[in-house]
Amino acid sequence: MNILLYIIIFAMGSVFGSFLTLATYRIPLNQNITHERSYCPKCNHKLSFLDMIPIFSYIFLGAKCRYCKAKIGARYFIIEIFSGIAFVILAILLQINIYEMTINKLIDFAFGSLYIVFLFLVAGIDKEHNKIDKRVLIYGLVISIGYMLYNYATIENFNPNRFILYLVIIALILILNTYKLKKTGKDEYELNVLILCIIMAFFTYEVATIISIVLTLLIIGIKIIINKIVNKRKKYSINISKQPIALYLCIANSLTLIFIYILDLVGD
């Protein structure tokens, strides 16, 4: 029975993955992500239900649009697969099973799923556009506040001070970022990265966030070394500001959470 449950969770995750591919494409273009039907970005033909079945449509259509035969990027397929896997991993780490289903575990899973969606959106947009969309950060902030209120209502002697401090810091950064945007016409990527780190601290706490930052620096360092080796005969310099830091942070945070949960399970 648990296998069937995890299959359902995987299917749900892949549906979210399909939505995420749409959202990461449309959000930077300021297009509607909820009320406008999906369409082929090449021929603009509206897609039918059979064209939008996660994973299976990509396979059965041969990675091509049914209408204009344009090739569909593998990232759609990959994100749907990884999103489904991420949801299953979350369910396993939270020890959700058909025999011990509780309201608290389901709520934790719901918040965890929303956080996964947040990480995927930030990572996807940063990979494609080297930017962090403020609307996605606001979404992350909203679920952070919801998570704080849930903990406040369910945990005895819960101290919300650290969360309130984070909210104040985020508010100050947003004010500073808005001021700089008006003054220079340029959104400050580094300030958005800082907000992302604070939102991570909301959900994963300080230790996991610090580990994620260290892993991100290691990823960037390894990338610099590899690029210098590959381009050793050329003059090569790397612009840190052009690195998809948010993408690396999201990957590092996901791996850190999985590792910490596994340690907790082994310790129990």
The 10s digit of each residue's pLDDT in 174-212 is: 888 877 777 777 777 888 999 999 999 988 888 999 999
Distance CA 133, CA 181 (A): 13
pLDDT at site 40 = 78
Q: What percentage of residues in the chain have a pLDDT greater than 70?
A: 93
Q: Reduced to 3 DSSP states, what percent helix, strand and coil does the chain have, rounded to the nearest 5?
A: 75, 0, 25
CB contact set of 177 (below 8 Å; sequence gap of 6+):
187, 188, 191, 192
pLDDT at site 126 = 92
Burial class (CB in 10 A: 0-12, 13-18, 19+), 127: middle
pLDDT category of residue 120 using cuts at 50, 70 and 90: very high
Kindly tell me if the per-residue pLDDT of 236 is higher than 60.
Answer: no
pLDDT at site 71 = 86
Tokens of 256: 């850190």
Kindly tell me if the per-residue pLDDT of 265 is higher than 80.
Answer: no
Distance CA 168, CA 185 (A): 24
pLDDT mean across residues, the chain? 85
pLDDT category of residue 237 using cuts at 50, 70 and 90: low
pLDDT category of residue 251 using cuts at 50, 70 and 90: very high
pLDDT at site 218 = 92
pLDDT category of residue 170 using cuts at 50, 70 and 90: confident
Q: Which value, in Å, is the radius of gyration of the alpha carbons in the chain?
A: 20
pLDDT at site 238 = 57
